Chains A and B, each alone.
Chain A
Amino acid sequence: MTVTATPEAPPDDAPPHKPPLIKPAVRKRLVPYWLLLPGILWLLVFFAAPLVYQASTSVQTGSLEEGFKVTWHFQTYWDALTEYYPHFLRSVLYAATATVLCLLLGYPLAYLIAFRAGRWRNLVMILVIAPFFTSFLIRTLAWKTILSDSGPVVGALNSLHVLDVTSYLGITEGQRVLATPLAVVCGLTYNFLPFMILPLYTSLERIDPRLHEAAGDLYARPFTTFRKVTFPLSMPGVVAGTLLTFIPAAGDYINAELLGSTDQKMIGNVIQSQFLRVLDYPTAAALSFILMAAILTMVTVYIRKSGTEDLV
């Protein structure tokens, strides 16, 4: 560069150079906060505020006619828990079963899409996501028709005597599938399967295929390669998938409502009816908080146990 420095004298009528209101360095530091602002506002209005409101509701007493007042009545929590603990347990059991079924069904499919589908990959991915084009409610209603007493599924299972076995195991009743635990768990599994497949696929797809070759080269048979290399490396997907399945499944009430009977009510159904039918707001709010705390605890323990922190 051969530019000679000849500072031009500023014109006389130019305004004096004003220092910027905020120093550039400070402005740079503030950028992340500006970027966070819309999200934080959204969370405050639609998450934090209702949460505080619910928390206050849960310690109120009163009735619909006289109005509810905050009386710090924590007894509601204990009462709700003692009355509805079977529903909590059932929710956890159903959600956990559905999660395990999703994992068993979803893993082979995700593996196939990631490693074997070749040019069919995108098509299979679309098929996995396709159910989302229809509403959750409609799909679950469709299952009601599929599993109906006079439907083909019940007929087929009956003639194969499968229902005798499932009845013996206590997951169906008599000659029906609808209004049994089997129907609810199947509904949950079906509805949350894509939430299992997508994270599994993402983490499997990221695995360098050369690692499989390296394992084979180092005397690992295909199944050993899966056990020692592929599966451990897909753990982030397994954890994400099980969480994305378990958490919404535990709080779901549509499946139990449409496919189950009163004997299959989950905690979501109780909360829904307390809020909308019984109009006992404090109990409903307390139940919501208990569910939230329970899920948070289980998830924390699970993440700690699975030790995904030190996975890549």
Chain B
Amino acid sequence: MTQPTSGGDVRLDRISKTYGSFTAVHPLDLHVPAGSFFALLGASGCGKTTTLRMIAGLEEPTTGTVRLAGEDITALPPYKRPVNTVFQSYALFPHLDIFENVAFGLRRRGVKSLKKQVEEMLELVQLGDFARRKPQQLSGGQQQRVAVARALINHPRVLLLDEPLGALDLKLRRQMQLELKRIQTEVGITFIHVTHDQEEAMTMADTVAVMNGGRVEQRGAPAELYENPGTTFVANFLGTSNLIEAEITDKSGGDLVLSAAGGKLAMPAERCSAPVRTGGKLLVGVRPEKITLAHAEDAGTVPEGRNRITGRIVDSSFIGVSTQYLITTPDCPEITVYEQNIERDARLVPGAEVVLHWNPAHTFGLDAAQDIDAGTELDEEAA
């Protein structure tokens, strides 16, 4: 068997999956470019794992086709697909030692002299000394690396990762994120990574597709998704967003002028994903770290041209690098603000009257017809 050194691109056309009357995945199109690190992000039950399993061949799609490097593989059983999976909870063979676990795929394909290959692969994941141990004698992180080695040694065109870091503790997870990213860059294989952890998806992936209720809500580079979410779900699920109901009062040049929270706000028109119509409703969003706080007494020092809202601090919590403030305003009950702890203003305590201000360019606009809280509760459940 020839061993392709580069990854293949994956193209899903109108792929869907229904179980009885339940639709796990609505017809969806997705293109994963060759050699990219692609993340499917969503809360549990959003259809991301089902999508992954359809690519692996472990689940038969109800409709649609799966193409790998241009070739239709929809009808191929898993053992004939040049695709390997790192399973959630790893699914290592408990009766085989680490060496044999890693060698499993090569043996099945009749590869002879595999000793050197397996040893090299174990070195890559830094488990050279553990070859003769059984999986249950290894820690979670080590088992995870075995699972990656067992899949990677086959040089698949695509590596599928199903919540591979879910069982690890936070510190180890951070370490493995970097490790996986390093391996991906080294081997150049296409990685498709399923996760519910938005931070993990943003740290590792080149492209993230956010899934919700069996549909892809939005896809793009992490920074693009974060800065310019297209739906309230993405805005809330990816980090935290302050969403304020507003009305469009004017459109001047490239800017929209809105009335909200008892004042006037401005934002660039191209950052609005909703149809723009004077008098129309809009949800105005701004990320907590983009907002600056000034005490009401210093209101005069706020530069001209910035969006400003007045409010009162309800709560503050110190978390080291920054302080989180919860602020209530007449029209908007809760606005979250993250302030860097550079020069702390001692007057900013609960009860203080403040002015919130931010650069209008950091504002994004969403269709007001959506559920303003979509994606908020899910995040907590998944975390």
Contacts and interface: CB of A to CB of B under 8 A. Distances in A.
Ranked nearest first, the 6 interchain pairs of A and B with the lowest CB-CB distance are: A218-B105, A219-B108, A214-B91, A210-B91, A216-B78, A312-B94
A229 B94 CA distance: 9
A213 B91 contact: yes
A41 interface: no
Contacts of A232: 95
A105 interface: no
Contact of A312 (B57, B80, B108, B136): B136
B87 A219 contact: no
Given A218-B108, A311-B95, A213 B154 contact: no
Interface in A222-247: 224, 228-229, 232-233
Interface string B234-257: 000000000000000000000000
B104 interface: yes
Contacts of A208: 91
B93 A211 contact: yes
29 contacts: A208-B91, A210-B87, A210-B89, A210-B91, A211-B94, A213-B58, A213-B78, A214-B87, A214-B92, A215-B93, A215-B104, A216-B57, A216-B58, A216-B78, A216-B79, A217-B58, A217-B78, A217-B85, A218-B79, A218-B154, A219-B80, A219-B109, A219-B154, A220-B79, A220-B108, A221-B79, A228-B104, A312-B95, A312-B136
Interface in B54-94: 56-58, 77-80, 83-85, 87, 89, 91-94
B150 interface: yes
Contact of A214 (B57, B85, B109): B85
B234 to A, nearest CB: 31
Contacts of B109: 219
A233 B79 contact: no
Interface string B88-112: 0101111100000000110011000
Nearest to B153: A218
Contacts of B104: 215, 218, 220, 228
Interface string B135-157: 01000000000000011001000
A141 B317 CA distance: 82
Nearest to A232: B95
Nearest to B162: A210
B382 to A, nearest CB: 21
Given A213-B85, A229-B93, 17 more contacts: A213-B58, A214-B87, A215-B104, A216-B57, A216-B58, A216-B77, A216-B78, A218-B79, A218-B104, A218-B150, A219-B79, A219-B80, A219-B105, A220-B104, A220-B108, A221-B79, A233-B94
Interface in A185-216: 208, 210-211, 213-216
A217 B162 CA distance: 13
Contacts of B85: 213-214, 217
Nearest to B83: A217
Q: Which residue, A218, A232, A312, has most C-beta atoms of chain B within 10 A? A: A218
A92 to B, nearest CB: 30
Contact of A217 (B56, B89, B93): B56
A224 B79 CA distance: 11
Contacts of B89: 210
A203 to B, nearest CB: 12
Interface string A116-131: 0000000000000000
